[in-house]
């Protein structure tokens, strides 16, 4: 990529930021003439994709847990009345 020495801490980025980073890497690869020379960039994109998938699943689990808690809270309030 443009800044090969640029170290990005993907773990601290939000899902939206990670998605935008992946899009910029894809745009770079699509516009680059010699793809064979970009193996490091492809590997970075694969790493980024795996992290996005993990964060997506984690966020989904958290949403599911919070929703269940809210439903149980509403249900328990109805039963008290």
Q: What is the pTM of this model?
A: 0.67
d(CA 55, CA 75): 30
Q: Which of 35, 15, 11, 12 is nearest to 23 (CA)?
A: 15
**What are 56-59's contacts with CB under 8 Å, separation 24+?**
56/15, 59/15
d(CA 57, CA 75): 27
d(CA 35, CA 65): 43
d(CA 58, CA 68): 15
- Of the given ranges (5-19, 33-47, 52-66), which has the lowest mean pLDDT? 5-19
pLDDT per residue over 28-51, tens digit each? 988 887 777 888 898 989 999 999
């Amino acid at each position: 990529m443009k800044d090969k020495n640029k170290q990005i801490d993907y773990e601290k980025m939000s899902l939206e930021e990670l998605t935008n980073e992946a899009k910029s890497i894809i745009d770079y690869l699509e516009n680059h003439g010699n793809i064979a020379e970009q193996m490091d960039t492809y590997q970075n994109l694969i790493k980024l994709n795996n992290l996005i998938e993990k964060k997506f699943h984690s966020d989904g689990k958290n949403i599911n847990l919070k929703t269940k808690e809210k439903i149980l809270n509403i249900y328990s309030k109805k039963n008290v009345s």
